[in-house]
Amino acid sequence: MERELWLALYLLARGLDKRWGSWKYSTAEIVAVYFWAVVHDRPTSWAACAEEWPADLRLDPLPPQSTLSRRLKQADAVELLTAVEQQLLILIGLGRQWIHIIDGKALAVSPISQDRDAAWGRGAKGKQKGYKLHAVWNGGPLFTTWSLAPMNVSEKTVARQLFESLPGGGYLLGDTQYDANGLYDAAAQAGFQLVAKKTPSRGRNGLGHRRQSPSRLRSIELLATPFGRELYRERGAIERQFGVLASTGGVLAPLPAWVRRFHRVRHWVQAKFILNGLRWIKIRQPELLALA
């Protein structure tokens, strides 16, 4: 399967690569060698060794590890990875459901890690050091939109950014972390009704003493109805999806020791998402790849 996944990804990246410039290696070749490392859960130094490739797939010449490290930091590599992910989203047809779910998942590193970009924050088991994935999901193998931030960045801060890129409209389910008037207003501007349980610590039956967003009042009304309670039960699906991604193919497994610093963590997570989406297509709808 690894061989088939890599070949499909390489062809997709090569088709989406728009620039070559004066570089010895195209951006698609840099991304392809990086995918070879990720699909085998190895560092880029491993993928830069010719003996780790089958002769019929090996790029000739292979870029050295120093070139891979330098080029993967540049904007063209980031743009191509995102273009590949967006192409898979289009093929799968996500973003058409009327129920979306927002949540975060901690990606911890060692407490003694020297990663200067990692930060201490609230994780799954109390205080942890590392990063956090913030995602909106509406079914399928890929997230509708997502972002990565150090662990100490608030869910509310990242949620505002995610709302701006959400397609369509409908209901957006979240836990008490998203019960904030500003987020209800931001979700409404994006065409969504945010539904989140009231923060228990608020006085006056959870309403506080400030101006209330009409969308927050609507959320409270919904959760008091049988329809709203049944709707909100769907929120747990994203936590189950996180569990599936953590155990199936190691998509959201603990970060390997060589994946440190923000840009490396983001590349690794995005490449794993792409691999998961492509694996889903190849198993369920392989004919879609002909449309890429």
pLDDT of residue 168: 82
> Please, are residues 171 and 230 in contact by the beta-carbon 8 Å criterion?
no
Domain boundaries defined on the chain: 2-93+256-291, 99-242
| Model confidence band, residue 20 (pLDDT cutoffs 50, 70, 90) | low
| Model confidence band, residue 244 (pLDDT cutoffs 50, 70, 90) | confident
Taking residues 107-134, report their average pLDDT: 92
pLDDT of residue 94: 55
Cα–Cα distance between 278 and 292 in angstroms, integer?
Answer: 11
Taking residues 265-282, report their average pLDDT: 93
Q: What is the mean pLDDT of the chain?
A: 90
Among 80-89, 96-105, 171-180, which is the least confidently predicted range?
A: 96-105
Q: Does the pLDDT value for residue 291 go beyond 70?
A: no
Cα–Cα distance between 187 and 241 in angstroms, integer?
Answer: 23
* The domain defined by 99-242 carries CATH number 1.10.10: no
| Model confidence band, residue 202 (pLDDT cutoffs 50, 70, 90) | low
| Model confidence band, residue 198 (pLDDT cutoffs 50, 70, 90) | confident
pLDDT of residue 250: 72
3 state SS for 76-132: HHHHHHHHHHHHHHHHHCCCCCCEEEEEEEEEECCCCCCCCCCEEEEECCEEEEEEE
| Model confidence band, residue 58 (pLDDT cutoffs 50, 70, 90) | very high
| Model confidence band, residue 123 (pLDDT cutoffs 50, 70, 90) | confident
Taking residues 263-287, report their average pLDDT: 90
pLDDT of residue 287: 74
> Please, are residues 214 and 194 in contact by the beta-carbon 8 Å criterion?
no
Alpha-carbon distances, residue 212 vs 31, 180, 270 (angstroms): 47, 9, 37
| Model confidence band, residue 270 (pLDDT cutoffs 50, 70, 90) | very high
Taking residues 173-195, report their average pLDDT: 95
Q: Does the pLDDT value for residue 206 go beyond 80?
A: no
Query: pTM of the full predicted structure?
Result: 0.90
Q: Determine what percent of the chain is predicted with pLDDT higher than 90.
A: 73
Amino acid 169 reads G
Q: pLDDT tens digit string along 144-158?
A: 999 999 999 999 999
